[in-house]
Structure 1
Amino acid sequence: MDFSGAPYTIAAVSRPLAESMNLLRALAKVSSMTLLSRIFGFVRDAVIARSFGAGIYTDAFFVAFKIPNLLRRLFAEGAFSQAFVPILAEYKNRRGHQDTQLLVDHVATLLFIALLVVTLIGVLAAPAVVYISAPGFSAAPEKFAVTVSMLRVIFPYILFISLVSLAGGILNTYSRFSVPAFTPVLLNVATIAAALWLAPHLAIPAMALAWGVMLGGILQLLLQLPFLKQLGLLPRFRLELHDEGVWRILRLMGPALFGVSIAQLSLLINTVFASFLATGSVSWLYYADRLMEFPTGMLGVALGTILLPSLAKHYADNDPTQYSQLLDWGLRLTLMLALPAAAALAILAVPLISTLFFYGQFSVNDVFMTRQALVAYSLGLLGLIMVKILAPGFYARQNIRTPVKIAVITLFATQAMNLMFVWKLQHAGLALSIGLGACLNASLLLWKLRSQGIYQPLPGWYLFFLKIAAAIGVMSLLLWWGMAGESSWLHMHSFQRVAHLGGLVVLGAGSYFGTLRVLGMRPAQFIRRTAE
């Protein structure tokens, strides 16, 4: 399959089109739902920035919210999903509905019990958890106390959102991608509502953010239950400790949990470093990270979501050719969309930050401190997204150990870079370390996939990359010219910023994809079908 210019279509082998799924269309659906979630997320962050700025209370909330999020990634979106989805796909394709229902029931029951215990421990041990995760807060008693209070309110969120991730894994395996992609919108809506209407009635207004997170977790779970019922897979409480599938998942979860723990430990160490830096450092990193989550969610998370079940099916069908071609398709899409996104984030850092957050208590200094973190993050955007594409290449084969070993190497490399960069670059050094560490992680994953013969690149990569580079060059020059200087954005009215930024987005996207079209690239080249 040549990407040099001629359109082509990769069709599912020995399957009629009526029984196949257009992955490009599925990606568009998931990305559109993710886009909606990100828009509401930016509205949420703009409300938080306007109402609370970047100070004691926002630092407290972001640390308190980070801890349950970390556990969510460990138990649900991380180790659990990596182990659960490939096994579930195997049951779905080989064992039939009844065995699949039993597996779902047994797994959901054990997950619920484990999360309930973790939640109770977290609520009781909140002071110790805060001290470990943000020791610098102990020097500021008020900040420490507020963080503990927020954590106790937020911690049950781990229970609800992990069950949401379980439901999402089931729905994704059955190609019901839109509903799981939409559910994060409810978290953002709940947090916005709490900040606007509950905050004025509380002694500490920022506590409303914690209650909003709790409500968001409950709403997300309630949304997915009817769709599980439609599939006949609504979990029932059945405790069975001898289920073969459960034990296979648990055996895979061991190394997966270790690997995800390593990745999350790196983020937690960054929070520890940031807690010793200037007040606002945690918030600056958070706001920059939120902007980074836009492309990583729109592309990395969305593409990883649809790739894992499809790769697992090709593995179950013993079809290495389709497996490799699917990875190649994902990597080309990643480069085509992630590289221009990274360039645009770096160039338009101040326009983006000022348009979204420069209101109320969010100061000029906050704008430029957040800009430093965002530019540093953008250097590693490609790596951050590629990890989400390459790692499923191992997870779908029920090989967790290889990504874990690579994660260990990445952890040590990231912390070494932290020590080198933080003294000179402060919070931006922490962001740079995360990005460069992700690039190292992605490079090692790709090398392993190639060396083990799992992924064989299709022809046309060299010319494909040259076309991408040329289009990025054209886009970057036009964006730099159209931005008209960073300082001007600090003096515009809100409507002017929105209108100008919207124009730049259209200019950037139009020039980039227009250049690719002139160079011979067409959307039809990226159509990819796979059997459901």
Structure 2
Amino acid sequence: MSGESSKGGLLRSSAVVSVMTLLSRVLGMVRDMVVAGYFGSGSAADAFFVAFKIPNFLRRLFAEGAFAQAFVPVLSEYRTRRSLAEVKQLVDHVAGTLGLVLTALTALGVIASPYLVMLFAPGFHGDTEKLALAGDLLRITFPYLLLISLTAFCGAILNSYGRFAVPAFTPVLLNVCMIGSAVLLSPYLEQPVMALAWGVFIAGLAQLLFQLPFLARMRLLPVPRVRRGDEGVKRILTLMVPALFGVSVSQINLLLDTVLASFLQTGSVSWLYYADRLSELPLGAFGIAIGTVILPSLSRQHASDDPKAFSATLDWALRMVLLVGVPAALALAILSEPLIASLFHYGAMTERDVLQAAKALEAYALGVLTFMLIKVLAPGYFARQDMKTPVRIAIQCMIANMALNLLLIWPLEHAGLALATSLSSMLNTALLFWGLYRLGIYTPAAGWALFSLRLGLACAAMAALIFWLNAPSAEWFAWDWQQRAQQLAVLVGAGIAVFVATLLLLGLRLRHLRR
């Protein structure tokens, strides 16, 4: 495959994943609007967000984090150098080992639910009712870790074979199940918020079952078998341990935010959650999409000993992330209050909740670009099966994040926690980039000066137009949902239009994105 067609293929695959992920994120926004309307930012909402965050955090840490980054390079190597029968054998043995470990971990988590809540949200200890509710919710949501981790395992196989659309679409089912549970099930329960927990559990089953037929067509449907000493499984497990830190440092930082926010005033956990959800929109719709698509390609290029193609793939990915991440971060910072008001200011969500969540969003916006860049830079190490370097960087960034948390929480409260997360992600990005550049793994291609000039001018034009068109917060609060939606559509549409138009006027063309 030529370099041109390769990059064209990456662009097409990235577009497919981005569209599917964007659909999931949009439905995720609808889901959060429903949750905000039904439960607001009160004690029940705080309890659920903690009960949902715990298995979700572990899922990102183990399944989509350490496991995926360790499994995909090994699977890609097997695919490149070995037979389909040997690939199938690896899949079966990994499924058996992973399933056994996850089943034991899930059983332990369900039993120890109250203690896990005290560990992850120690600030709940003074509120026995909230603590008990969070424990009951966690017993229902914790099995999601088992189900979604197996789903991520199936998705990693599909991604390695270029079937990106199915794993990217799968998260849509989580949002559909939670929306349905909140609307249809909550009126019939003594504690309505329990409906959200059951929605999470149902979604885990639905997502796993959805992917199995596609693996069966590829003759790679996992048949779990536990075999001690399997070479591939041992390599994956060896790579997983350091990858736990290397790829998931941002998730650990977000979890630390939740722990400290539990000590702050009621609503702090929810404000951070709503802000984090919006900041993750560009990350999930594009940053994770690019990282997902390039990892198998980088792994194959490393296995084929093609360093020039490896560097070129990283260069292309960095430009694509900057092209989306810079304007997205600017827009989130400028439109923090309009976005929060338009999406969540209904029902139990108050004006004060909107303003407090907007403060957190402005702080998270500073780190949106670096969150996205981490998803591109980290695969540069994992594809080469280098886990030690990201571990060392991750430890440094975790220490920095903890220090910044303690420094900023007092003057800025929950917004200080968000700002600390953004600053530590900047450090993470800088260290990851410098490592690849210093060792000659990544060498910037020609044209970066012109690309940066075009991007900077386009972002300046977009920001100026949004500032000019935006209305005061009081008007956003006074409008109904239709007026908010119309005005937000005008702002977003006009911002995108002037951004794209400026790039075109400055000479950027689609063919430049394929090279």
Query: Above 0.5 in TM-score?
Result: yes
Q: Which residue of 2 aligns with 1:114?
A: 101
| Residue equivalent to 1:137 | 124
Quote how far apart the aligned CAs of 1:260 are: 4.9
Counterpart of 2:487 in structure 1 is 500
Provide the residue aligned with 1:254 in structure 2.
241
Q: 1:262: how far off?
A: 5.0
Aligned to 2:284: 297
Q: Which residue of 1 aligns with 2:2?
A: 12
Q: Identity over the aligned pairs, expressed in percent?
A: 52
Q: CA deviation at 1:349?
A: 1.0
Between stretches 72-81 and 283-292, larger displacement belongs to: 72-81
Matched position secondary structure for 1:232: coil
Provide the aligned C-alpha RMSD in A: 1.3
Aligned-partner residue type, residue 282 of structure 1: V
* AA matched with 1:12: S
**Change beyond 3 A, Cα 1:487–1:20:** closer
Say whether 1:171 aligns with 2:158: yes
Of residues 430, 447, 471, the one that matches 1:484 is 471
Q: Which residue of 1 aligns with 2:217?
A: 230
The answer for the alignment partner of 1:327 in structure 2 is 314
What secondary structure sits across from 1:22 in the alignment?
Answer: helix
Unaligned runs of 5+ in 1: 1-10
1:27-81 deviation per Cα after TM superposition (whole angstroms, max 9, x unaligned): 1110000011011101100000000110101100000111101111222101111
AA of the residue aligned to 1:78: G
Matches within 5 A, 1:50-199: 50-199=37-186
Letter in 2 for 1:390: L
| Matching residue of 2:231 | 244
Q: Is the 8 A contact 2:245 2:390 kept in 1?
A: no
Matched-pair contact (CA < 8 Å) for 1:79–1:256: yes
Q: What is the rounded CA distance, in whole Å, between the counterparts of 1:126 and 1:494 in structure 2?
A: 39
Deviation at 1:419, TM superposition (A): 1.2
8 Å contact kept, 2:341–2:477:
yes
Give the Cα–Cα distance (whole angstroms) in 1 for the partners of residues 248 and 22 of structure 2: 28
Summarize deviations over 1:366-396 as a string: whole Å, max 9, x none: 1100100000000111111100010000000
Question: How many angstroms apart in 1 are the aligned matches of 2:90 and 2:54?
Answer: 29
Residues of 1 paired with 2:393 and 2:302: CA distance?
22
The residue identity in structure 1 corresponding to 2:313 is: L
1:114-166 deviation per Cα after TM superposition (whole angstroms, max 9, x unaligned): 00000000000111111111111010111001000000000100000000000
Q: CA deviation at 1:100?
A: 0.2
In the alignment, structure 1 residue 445 sits paired with structure 2 residue 432: yes
With 290-299 and 481-490 compared, the bigger mean Cα shift is at 481-490
**Number of the residue aligned with 1:8:** none
Rounded to whole Å, the distance in 2 between the matches of 1:266 and 1:38 is: 22
Equivalent in 395, 398, 421 of residue 408 of structure 1: 395
Partner of 2:36: 49
Letter in 2 for 1:462: A
Letter in 1 for 2:202: L
**Partner deviation per Cα, 1:86-136 (whole Å, 9 max, x = no partner):** 000000111020100000000011000000000000000111111111111
C-alpha distance in 1 between matches for 2:438 and 2:255: 32
Q: d(CA) in 1 for partners of 2:250 and 2:363?
A: 19
Match of 1:463 in 2: 450
Residues of 2 paired with 1:428 and 1:408: CA distance? 23
Structure 2 vs 1, CA of residues 472 and 20 (structure 1 numbering), >3 Å: closer, same or farther? closer
Partners of 1:506 and 1:266 in 2: CA distance: 33
Aligned to 1:427: 414
Distance in 2 of aligned mates of 1:261 and 1:301: 13
Look up the equivalent residue of 2:367 and give its one-letter code.
Answer: G
1:31·1:298 contact (CA, 8 Å) conserved in 2? yes
Report deviation, 1:356: 0.6
Mapped partners of 1:260, 1:514: distance in 2: 36
Q: Aligned residue pairs: how many?
A: 515
Measure the CA separation in 1 of the matches of 2:347 and 2:250: 35
Name segments (4+ residues, structure 1) moved above 4 Å.
Answer: 260-263
Whether the aligned pair in 2 keeps the contact of 1:271 and 1:282 (CA below 8 Å) is yes
